């Protein structure tokens, strides 16, 4: 029996665990990730609008969504000439910003592969997380200097690579192999991700609209600093990482070869990652072309005298997750009692199908709204359905990686999981290029088709993947 399938004897629960159901380290990681995601999604919610309406145009929107304009010079942004030369020659400013957005959202998910390798081999998960947090906080604050825009993005990309895979795998470290609380822990952790994503646009987006773009970016930096402080001062509640265990045992990193069973599981994860690429390419439109639709073609009301901002649209997805995650958890437990709960791979296929079908709403909306402005129903209802698809795939994938990966390379494998989001992010940018090149209804129908084709591919590989991953998991 290898290290993956071995089940440790049960460990007596502490008083804290008896009361709250999980070790205190889970809640340290919950709030660390909440503030890190606050910073990431706060910056991401402003990013494309900032490029289109301020940074890369000569007549700049002084406040996000405001009428007042100031003169600007895009050529003052260091590296803009070089980057612009790499973009599609016939792209509009919207198209150029879409491709840059895609590269950014892609690269923040490529570097976790490197960050996981560094943690597994050299620094350990804890030190790598701290390094990543420092780099990301610096990146948010450097955004205040317009000419350093691309350098700020580089800091954020590198920081996320160090942070992202190593915070997720520490959730798994809190539980012994076979502990039934593991999936529930990742659901709670996923709620932390979305709590940060929900709050941030009300704060960062509002500051950008009322005081100026850079106040919104600065708030994202403050959020990252808060998360880093919580992590540093709460480390005593975390499980030792692999490097700490090796140091305590006075042994070097294991270099034993992988078994055939471990290679089978790795291969299955690689296939799943490849299939996920199109899912993330379609999913990431919510921060790309869907945000453009929300900004340009949606009528947002005033509620109790407060004008709803278009950037608040980015908070609707995490709000839906709060509503739907408990419902789906109960639904899956009901299916489990009846012996009909889908496997992890099946759930991911269902999620891809629902994602694709959600954009049928935007096909209808585009036909009704045309070139004018219309109801907020269209982007909100599409997002509601899209969120169901996300919940069937994303947290399930995170838990799956920690369950089936060989223990000694789990951070690197988590990084590989995020690598699918890298290619998906790139795909989202190039898909967004077509947003103003073809009719809007044709664009959203393209997204529907891609989602359904991904679901079909997952169903086709369902049985062999389940066999490679060890059965019905």
- Give the tens place of pLDDT for each residue, 124-147: 889 999 999 999 999 999 998 999
Is 252 inside a domain boundary? no
Higher-pLDDT residue of 283 and 7 is 283
Question: In this structure, is residue 18 part of a structural domain?
Answer: no
Cα 107 off chain centre by? 12
pLDDT more than 90, % of the chain: 42
Asked if pLDDT for residue 304 goes beyond 90, the answer is no
180: pLDDT strictly greater than 80: no
User: Binning pLDDT at 50, 70 and 90, where does residue 8 land?
Assistant: very low
* One-character DSSP codes across 19-68: HHSS-HHHHHHHHHHHHHHHHHHHHHHHHHHHIIIIITSSEEESSTT-S-
- pLDDT at position 6: 46
- Determine the straight-line distance between the first and last CA of the chain, rounded to whole angstroms: 18
* Confidence check: pLDDT of 290 > 90: yes
Q: Would you state the pLDDT for residue 328?
A: 83
Beta strands in 179-296 (DSSP E): none
Residues 429 and 103: their CA atoms lie apart, in Å, by: 7
- Domains identified in the chain, total number: 1
Q: Is 306 helix (H, G, I), strand (E, B) or coil?
A: strand
User: What distance in Å separates the CA atoms of residue 33 and residue 129, rounded to the nearest whole number?
Assistant: 11
Q: Given this model, what pLDDT does residue 2 score?
A: 44
Determine which of 294-308, 311-325, 390-404 has the lowest per-residue pLDDT on average: 390-404
Instruction: Identify the pLDDT of residue 5.
Output: 44
β strands within 275-328, DSSP E: 302-303, 306-307
Could you give the angle at the alpha carbon of 294 between the alpha carbons of 191 and 327, nearest 5°? 30
Non-local CB neighbours of 388 within 8 Å, separated by 6+ positions: 324, 328, 351, 354, 358
Count Cβ atoms below 10 Å from residue 141 Cβ, excluding itself.
19
Q: Which domain holds residue 34?
A: 26-239+260-468
Digit-coded pLDDT (tens) for 349-358:
999 999 999 9
Give the confidence band of 473 by pLDDT, cuts at 50, 70, 90.
Answer: low
Helix, strand, coil shares, percent, the chain, to 5? 75, 5, 25
User: Looking at residues 20-36, what average pLDDT do you find?
Assistant: 89
> Tokens 């996320």 belong to which residue?
160
| Assigned domain for 380 exists | yes
Average pLDDT over residues 74-96: 90
Is residue 19 assigned to a domain? no
Q: Is residue 2 part of a domain?
A: no
Per-residue pLDDT at 251 exceeds 90: no
393-416 residue pLDDT tens? 887 877 777 777 777 777 778 777
pTM, rounded to two decimals: 0.77
Residue 251 maps to a domain: no
What per-residue confidence (pLDDT) applies to 218?
Answer: 94
Residue 7 included in any domain: no
Please indicate, yes or no, if residue 21 is contained in any of the structural domains. Answer: no
Mean of the pLDDT values across residues 106-118?
Answer: 86
The answer to whether the CB of 212 falls within 8 A of the CB of 228 is no
Contact between residue 432 and residue 444 where contact means Cβ atoms under 8 Å apart: no
CATH number at 444 reads 1.20.1250.20
């Amino acid at each position: 029996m290898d290290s993956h399938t071995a089940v440790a004897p049960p460990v007596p629960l502490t008083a804290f665990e008896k009361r709250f159901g999980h070790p205190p380290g889970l809640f340290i990681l919950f709030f660390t990730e909440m503030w890190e995601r606050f910073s990431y999604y706060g910056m991401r919610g402003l990013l494309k609008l900032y490029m289109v309406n301020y940074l890369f145009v000569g007549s700049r929107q002084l406040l996000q969504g405001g009428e007042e304009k100031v003169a600007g010079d895009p050529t003052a942004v260091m590296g803009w000439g070089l980057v612009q030369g790499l973009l599609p020659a016939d792209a509009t400013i919207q198209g150029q910003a879409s491709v840059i957005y895609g590269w950014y959202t892609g690269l923040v998910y490529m570097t976790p592969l490197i960050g996981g390798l560094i943690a597994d081999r050299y620094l350990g998960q804890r030190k790598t997380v701290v390094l990543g947090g420092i780099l990301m906080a610096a990146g948010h604050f450097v955004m205040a200097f317009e000419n350093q825009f691309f350098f700020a993005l580089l800091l954020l990309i590198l920081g996320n690579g160090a942070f992202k895979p190593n915070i997720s795998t520490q959730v798994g470290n809190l539980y012994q192999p076979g502990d039934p609380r593991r999936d529930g822990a990742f659901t709670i952790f996923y709620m932390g991700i979305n709590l940060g994503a929900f709050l941030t646009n009300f704060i960062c987006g509002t500051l950008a609209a009322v005081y100026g773009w850079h106040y919104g970016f600065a708030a994202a930096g403050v959020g990252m600093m808060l998360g880093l402080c919580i992590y540093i001062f709460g480390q005593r509640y975390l499980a030792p990482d692999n490097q700490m265990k090796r140091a305590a045992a006075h042994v070097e990193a294991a270099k034993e070869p992988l078994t055939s069973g471990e290679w089978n599981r790795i291969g299955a994860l690689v296939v799943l990652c490849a299939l996920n690429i199109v899912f993330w390419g379609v999913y990431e439109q919510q921060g790309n072309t869907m945000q453009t639709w929300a900004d340009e073609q949606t009528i947002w009301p005033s509620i109790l005298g407060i004008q709803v901002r278009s950037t608040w649209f980015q908070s609707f997805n995490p709000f839906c997750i709060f509503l739907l995650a408990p419902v789906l958890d109960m639904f899956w437990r009901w299916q489990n009692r009846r012996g009909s709960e889908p496997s992890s791979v099946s759930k991911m296929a269902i999620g891809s199908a629902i994602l694709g079908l959600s954009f049928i709403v935007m096909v209808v909306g585009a036909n009704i709204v045309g070139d004018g402005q219309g109801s907020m129903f269209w982007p909100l209802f599409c997002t509601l359905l899209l969120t169901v698809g996300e919940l069937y795939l994303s947290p399930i994938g995170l838990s799956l990686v920690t369950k089936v990966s060989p223990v000694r390379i789990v951070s690197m494998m988590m990084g590989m999981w995020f690598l699918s989001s890298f290619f998906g992010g790139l795909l989202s940018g190039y898909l967004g290029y077509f947003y103003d090149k073809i009719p809007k209804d044709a664009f959203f129908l393209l997204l529907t088709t891609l989602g359904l084709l991904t679901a079909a591919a997952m169903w086709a590989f369902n049985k062999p993947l389940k066999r490679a991953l060890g059965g019905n998991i």
